[in-house]
Amino acid sequence: MALAHAGPVGRVRDDPGEIVGSAPVVDAGDRAQETRRILDASRSIIEDDHFAYVSGDHGAGWIAKDLIFPATANGDALGRMLAAAVGEYDAEIVCGPSTGGLIVSQWVAHHLGIPSVFAEHDPAWIRPADAHAGHEMQGPFVLRRGYDEMVQGRRVLVVDDVVNTGHSVRQTAEAARAAGSDVVACAAFVDRGNVDAAGIGVPIYGFLLQERIPAWPAADCRLCRDGVPMSTRYAHGKEWVAAHGGPSHS
């Protein structure tokens, strides 16, 4: 196929306010409902398994966010909804922590008609020799590749796919501010209900869907007590099983 010599590919989009195959999304309730529908369709919300979280707690739920984006229509639809929700903040550039936030940033910026950049773990960071279990395994999010210059003096919207503790978006906002930008808001596709705008360190924090996932101390875990196999595919199940044993599944 000789794309360089081909004519226009595909149809021209003339319906930016509408998601193909569904009703127009007009308010926050509709956005939440549509987001839930997309996550369910991609099977990314798991509610009846056994997980060990980074925090050390256990629970039955997980958002397998890597299943959301292989179907690019999902990123397109979610990005369109989030762009519509944050339009009033007049962001001039979007920035997300890689890798999930990078994809979100691309789609949201595409629908806002503004540039997209991303933050990444500092490759120069060296893990402290005295780092203990639970210590961070990767360096803080930084702006490289000239993206620090691109955000300088601009109104930045920080985005991510799923916000849990807010750690990644907080570091991304800090990196953007350190580069001389004004972080006007943070926005996510899904909020886990564990952090607010103050906790992230931004003036405004919004999301399309809130999905709270109950967790409890491992010592009180009824799933452990009942011998329910631990998922080693997601979260910290692999590390948990290596350290504590017990039945597992991948």
The contact mask relative to Zn ion for 170-209 (x = CB under 5 A, - = no) is ----------------------------------------
**Nearer to Zn ion by C-beta: 134 or 153?**
134
Q: How many residues bind Zn ion (CB under 5 A)?
A: 4
Answer yes or no whether residue 235 interacts with Zn ion by CB under 5 A: no
Answer yes or no whether residue 236 interacts with Zn ion by CB under 5 A: no
Count helices and strands (H / E) in the chain.
8, 13
- CA distances to 235, 246, 247 from 226, rounded to whole Å, are 20, 11, 11
Answer yes or no whether residue 223 interacts with Zn ion by CB under 5 A: yes
Contact 35, 162 (CB under 8 A): no
State the nearest-atom distance from the C-beta of 167 to Zn ion, in Å.
23
Helix axes 100-112, 167-178, angle to 10 degrees: 60
Of 5-13, 21-29, 34-42, 223-231, the window that binds Zn ion (rule: CB under 5 A) is: 223-231
Which own/partner contact pairs does 216-221 have at CB distance under 8 Å and 24+ positions apart? 216/57, 216/58, 216/59, 217/56, 217/57, 217/58, 218/52, 218/56, 218/57, 218/58, 221/58
State the nearest-atom distance from the C-beta of 237 to Zn ion, in Å.
9
Helix axes 72-86, 28-41, angle to 10 degrees: 160
**Nearer to Zn ion by C-beta: 159 or 224?**
224
The secondary structure of 178-198 as a DSSP string is HTT-EEEEEEEEEE-SS--HH
State the nearest-atom distance from the C-beta of 201 to Zn ion, in Å.
33
Residues 34-93 that bind Zn ion (CB under 5 A): 58
State the nearest-atom distance from the C-beta of 149 to Zn ion, in Å.
47
Q: Cα-Cα-Cα-Cα dihedral of 61, 100, 210, 71, to 10°?
A: -80
Q: Which residue is nearest to Zn ion (CB)?
A: 221
Residues 91-120 that bind Zn ion (CB under 5 A): none
Contact 106, 127 (CB under 8 A): no
Contact 236, 54 (CB under 8 A): yes
**Nearer to Zn ion by C-beta: 7 or 227?**
227
When binding is defined by CB under 5 A, the residue of 224, 234, 237, 248 that contacts Zn ion is 224
Contact 55, 215 (CB under 8 A): yes
Task: Read off φ and ψ for residue 153, nearest 5 degrees.
Answer: 75, 10
**Nearer to Zn ion by C-beta: 127 or 222?**
222
Q: Which residues pair with 97 in a beta bridge?
A: 119
State the nearest-atom distance from the C-beta of 245 to Zn ion, in Å.
12
Of 71-79, 138-146, 222-230, 241-249, the window that binds Zn ion (rule: CB under 5 A) is: 222-230
**Nearer to Zn ion by C-beta: 53 or 147?**
53
Chain positions contacting Zn ion, by CB under 5 A = 58, 221, 223-224
